[in-house]
Amino acid sequence: MNEEIKDPNQLDMFAGILFTPEQEQKIAEFIKIREDIANTNESINKQREQLLTNNGFIKDVDFVNTFKIETVTNETTIGYSYNKTDFKAEITYKTIDGSIFLKGKRFGTYSNPNELINSTFNIDFEKDKVNCSPIQDNYRYIKPATLLEKLKTYNSRQKQLLEEYKRKNGLKLSTVEKYTKLYPNATITVKSDWGDVIEVKFESGSYVQFKLDTYKNVEYLYKKHDAEIETLGLDKLLDKFSKQEALK
């Protein structure tokens, strides 16, 4: 195999390393490809933004566009290792970052379970249709105008969830406070049974449980337990019932 001799007069373009004409050509091709990719994606991004604004979306209100082209300098591997044509060079080229994201509100996230936070959502494009599964709750591609209405509905629902939480939490705290004052010797506990349950348990073991109606802002009887009756034998239980007043 003939070893290629580098021209000692060849210009040193990359950190003191001399490249062969073939390698310089590959570097130039790499730079050109990266530039073409960046320009193509920039054009696509502009078309997608225009699709949204043409259908009623307002930039920085309903969506954000973080797309940008950057020029970076990195050590890059050019060529293929399988035929031993690969080599490394420090190359300055164009790259892309960012995308289009819908703007919205979210209530009840893992890190902020009881707060309404600003959030962004990925949006996918397919020709003149779009998809945002967290907003739509499905993976169908729909018209942009339809997605905008769904986004408004979604954000409105998140605000409603916050208000429902405030009402529910406020009623829960006031209910606990009320029965704590009325029955200081009882144990007041908040439990969960398809929603919050306030239990007022007495020293005898008897208890009353309440559920909360946040729309009427009242608690209502859910369950009751008489520990004394549970201790009675059958004869005493029948005798007790026999002495109760007749219903009127």
State the DSSP string of 47-67.
HHHHHHHHTT--BTTTEEE--
Q: Is the pTM of this model over 0.75?
A: no
Q: Would you call 241 helix, strand, or coil by DSSP?
A: helix
Cα dist. 37→33, 71, 76, 178 in Å? 6, 13, 17, 67
List Cα–Cα distances, 18 to 10, 14, 74, in angstroms.
7, 7, 17
**pLDDT by 10s per residue, the chain, length 248:** 444 444 444 444 445 678 999 999 999 999 999 999 999 999 999 999 999 999 999 999 999 999 999 999 999 999 887 878 889 999 999 999 999 999 999 998 878 888 999 999 999 999 999 999 999 999 999 999 999 999 999 999 999 999 988 988 999 999 999 999 999 999 999 998 888 999 999 999 999 999 999 888 899 999 999 998 888 888 888 888 888 888 87
Q: How far apart are CA 53 and CA 51, in angstroms?
A: 6
Domain definitions of the chain by residue range: 21-160, 183-241
